[in-house]
Amino acid sequence: MGITQFLQQDDWKKEKHVPVIEIEGTVEKGKVVSIHLSVGKGIPHPNTTEHHIRWFKLFYHANGEKHPYHLGTYQFEAHAESIEGANKGPAKCEPDVRTSVLLEKPGQLIAMSYCNIHGIWENSIEFEI
């Protein structure tokens, strides 16, 4: 079995946990491209001490290769925790991040998001060069 039995998928326009992957511009050989990851683009996800998105992971699978490459893990650590209590703190991380990568072959970007209550969600997009 393993972890794959827990990976959940859906349409991000209907389900608030699905990571949304956006390539800003076009992927070209030898050119760094920006990848935007977010969640709740269709329906906002809560962001409270008790219920929030904890991390994203981003992978790249180049067409024809056996294994994916891990591009990054993006942690969201502050969710309004405070000595005064839950949701009283002055800092919250939004589950929204941009990263810059060089991708030399066409393939697929695969993202995972982790909600501390509702588990692991995944999404993927294909791209050409």
Nearest CB to Fe ion, comparing residues 34 and 48: 48
Of 52, 57, 115, 122, catalytic: 115
Give the count of residues interacting with Fe ion (CB under 5 A).
3
> Could you tell me which residues come within 8 angstroms of residue 109 by beta carbon, excluding any fewer than 6 positions away?
21, 23, 35, 58, 59, 60, 71, 124, 125, 127
| Annotation says 15 is catalytic | yes
User: Taking CB under 5 A as the rule, does residue 18 contact Fe ion?
Assistant: no
Q: Work out whether 110 is an interface residue with Fe ion (CB under 5 A).
A: no
Does 39 sit near Fe ion (CB under 5 A)?
no
Bridge partners, 8 (sequence order)? 121
Is 93 a catalytic site residue?
no
> Other C-beta atoms within 10 Å of 95: how many?
23
Residues annotated catalytic, as ranges: 15-17, 45, 51, 115, 118
Summarize as ranges the residues that interact with Fe ion (CB under 5 A).
115, 117-118
